[in-house]
Amino acid sequence: MATAAQADAAVLLWLNGWVGRFPWLDTAARLVVSDYLVPVLLSLLLFGMWFAGREPTLRERHQRAVLRAIIGMGFASLVVLIANHYVFRPRPFTQYELQLLFYMPTDSSFPSNPAVVGFAMATGIWTGNRSLGLVAFLGAGLWGLSRVYAGVSYPSDVVAGALLGMAATLLVSGALATIEPLPTLVLRLAQRFHLA
């Protein structure tokens, strides 16, 4: 455990040590680490995916993926909320002298909320469209990496968040399959109003 914690801190310190060396990299990191860029882009991807597809079968596949992503994200966020009652990990900037590129969050560092949300959404997108899913995973990964670079999360917080997000959406995928025909009824109702 001590070795893992040391490795965790070592990676964090190494990455954060690059802050200040390349101004363009710091500017890019400030943008990516923002609470608004990646989540809005992923949300726009989901929104567009709902309507995308030249054939009805492809559109329906995309729409089911959007449902998985949204419900998976909600479920994962609920798990984090409960977990934070039992596990609190101090932020790395309370333990080490770091160069911060972000404000100082006060909630638990573990697991990383952005990683949970980002990877939950990306997994849902991936279940409907592999290419878009890879793009989403790239965005979620960059968001998580930027949190470490900016000094607000440990690498293990991001990894744990990613795994939790992915697992939540995959669990939701299975659950949605077992409650058919409910998701199909939702889609059929939306189709009656030409919204699906």
Q: Is the Cβ of residue 8 or residue 26 nearer to other proteins in the bound state?
A: 26
In the complex, least distance from residue 80 CB atom to other proteins, rounded to whole angstroms: 10
Q: Is the Cβ of residue 10 or residue 102 nearer to other proteins in the bound state?
A: 102
In the complex, least distance from residue 35 CB atom to other proteins, rounded to whole angstroms: 6
Which residues contact other proteins (rule: CB under 8 A)?
Answer: 30-31, 33-37, 39-40, 43-44, 47-48, 51-54, 56, 59, 77, 102-106, 113, 117, 191-196
Q: Is the Cβ of residue 5 or residue 104 nearer to other proteins in the bound state?
A: 104
In the complex, least distance from residue 60 CB atom to other proteins, rounded to whole angstroms: 9
Instruction: Say if residue 39 is preceded by a cis peptide, omega within 30 of 0.
Output: no
Task: Give 190's contacts (C-beta < 8 A, 6+ positions apart).
Answer: 63, 196
Closest among 73, 78, 156 to 120, alpha carbons compared: 73
Q: Is the Cβ of residue 10 or residue 195 nearer to other proteins in the bound state?
A: 195
DSSP labels, 46-107? HHHHHH--SSHHHHHHHHHHHHHHHHHHHHHHHHHHHHHHH-----GGGTS----SS----S
In the complex, least distance from residue 179 CB atom to other proteins, rounded to whole angstroms: 22
Q: Is the Cβ of residue 9 or residue 135 nearer to other proteins in the bound state?
A: 135
| Dihedral class, residue 147 (left if φ above 0, else alpha if ψ from -120 to 50, else beta) | alpha
In the complex, least distance from residue 4 CB atom to other proteins, rounded to whole angstroms: 29
C-alpha separations of 136 from 8, 59, 90, 122 in Å: 25, 18, 29, 5
Q: Is the Cβ of residue 9 or residue 64 nearer to other proteins in the bound state?
A: 64
Closest among 115, 168, 161 to 141, alpha carbons compared: 115
In the complex, least distance from residue 153 CB atom to other proteins, rounded to whole angstroms: 15
